[in-house]
């Protein structure tokens, strides 16, 4: 089976899924056409076993030739933003499975209802299947005309093997001495809610003079405008395999996004055994979060609720934090690379 992924912003976790799929199915061959890396997420990728093509070197005609000459049998397309990718899928629909990755949540706005009305001409004449991360995205796919048997679930899967190794490595040490540090990992862009988080943390410190700190990992347009404070530490961008020191020294994960269609980092840090503080706009909450069991949620952009969530978390005993650690790790294992590989090989006309 030869599969071609037409990808925009490729993530290391997706590449890991591809490589695990090849390990599981030796007859599987995967090729990827990808956009250049974005500045705020300069991941270093290991493409062992994957054929990689740069999007900048291909137009529509050469992409069609690539499909033909590589004997491609399934095309997977990451959304509809790249018009040439979409045209390629239209060209081959009916000849092979053409799979649309959808990470948009169904919110029922005018734009989505318009897409629903026009889906026979915009979507269903180009794609035979959809592949989604969660139930809200599956709902969107249904509105776009895909039947349940044409929708694959669990597209976004973290590298749980790597992050669970951190959990196992530091679990006993943390249980003996729980680090009093919150951790944010994500892009430094406004929609991630970083300013709400930083300002809420400063107010929380003014109220409590807590010994807890906030450690932040990432880069992006707002990095130069980051909020400085004696108990807020900025590390810049780290590769996933460089997280050992940060994970060893932190204990609670926070993601304050104003809008997060999914959020793979939630599964990553659940696998690493982190209690969670999450905004109510994060798609991955549906699988990897249970209120009060492995963390607390708050209304996005609501600083008072963020402060309240800080208070709730630091009021827990170490025994309660350890229980949340274990629950997060357990919840993280609901979606696996093995399931991802099975889904990839299950798309049939």
pLDDT in tens, 223-261: 999 999 999 999 999 998 899 999 999 999 999 999 999
Q: What is the largest CA-CA distance in the chain?
A: 65
DSSP bridge pairs for 253: 183, 276
At 41-76, the pLDDT tens digits run 778 888 999 999 999 999 999 999 999 999 999 999
Q: Please tell me the distance from the alpha carbon of residue 264 to that of residue 238, in angstroms, as a whole number.
A: 16
Alpha helices (H) in 93-159, listed in sequence order: 110-122, 135-143
Which regions of the chain are under pLDDT 50? none
Share of the chain above pLDDT 90, in %: 90
What are the Cα distances from residue 191, in Å, to 80, 122, 186, 194, 343? 22, 28, 11, 8, 31
Contact by Cβ (8 Å): 247, 272: yes
Rg (CA), the chain: 21
Tokens 């979606």 correspond to 335
Domains of the chain by start residue, with CATH: 2-158+335-344 (3.40.50.11930), 160-332 (3.40.50.2000)
pLDDT value of residue 238? 94
pLDDT value of residue 230? 98
Long-range contacts, 316-323 (Cβ 8 Å, 24+)? 316/275, 318/175, 318/178, 321/178, 321/251, 321/252, 321/275, 322/175, 322/178
The answer to whether the predicted template modeling score (pTM) of the entire model surpasses 0.85 is yes
pLDDT value of residue 122? 78
pLDDT value of residue 120? 73
Which tokens hold the place of 202? 């400063």
User: DSSP letter at 53?
Assistant: E
């Amino acid at each position: 089976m030869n599969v071609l992924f037409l990808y925009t912003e490729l993530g290391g976790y997706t590449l890991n899924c591809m490589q695990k799929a090849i390990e599981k199915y030796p007859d599987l061959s995967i090729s990827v056409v990808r956009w250049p890396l974005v500045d705020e997420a300069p991941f270093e990728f290991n493409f062992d076993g994957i054929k990689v093509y740069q999007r900048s070197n291909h137009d529509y005609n050469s992409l069609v030739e690539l499909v033909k000459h590589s004997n491609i049998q399934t095309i997977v397309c990451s959304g509809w933003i790249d018009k040439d990718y979409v045209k390629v899928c239209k060209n081959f629909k009916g000849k092979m499975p053409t799979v649309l990755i959808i990470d948009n949540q169904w919110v029922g706005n005018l734009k989505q209802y318009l897409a629903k009305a026009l889906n026979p001409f915009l979507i269903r004449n180009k794609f035979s299947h959809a592949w989604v991360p969660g139930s809200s995205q599956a709902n969107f796919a249904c509105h776009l005309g895909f039947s349940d048997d044409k929708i694959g679930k669990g597209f976004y899967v973290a590298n749980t093997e790597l992050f669970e190794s951190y959990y196992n490595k530091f679990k006993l040490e943390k249980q003996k001495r729980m680090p009093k540090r919150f951790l944010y990992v994500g892009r430094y862009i406004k929609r991630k809610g970083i300013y709400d988080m930083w300002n809420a943390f400063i107010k929380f410190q003014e109220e409590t003079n807590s010994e807890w700190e906030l450690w932040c990992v990432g880069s992006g347009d707002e990095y130069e405008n980051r909020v400085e404070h004696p108990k807020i530490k900025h590390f810049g961008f780290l590769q996933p395999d460089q997280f050992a020191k940060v994970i060893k020294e932190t204990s609670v994960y926070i993601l304050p996004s104003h809008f997060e269609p999914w959020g793979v980092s939630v599964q990553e840090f659940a696998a690493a055994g982190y209690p969670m503080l999450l905004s109510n706009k994060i798609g991955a909450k549906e699988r990897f979060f249970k209120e009060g069991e492995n963390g607390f949620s708050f209304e996005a952009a609501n600083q008072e609720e963020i402060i309240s969530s800080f208070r709730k978390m630091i009021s827990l005993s170490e025994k309660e934090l350890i229980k949340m650690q274990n629950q997060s790790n357990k919840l993280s294992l609901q979606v696996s690379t093995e399931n991802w590989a099975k889904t990839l090989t299950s798309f049939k006309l």
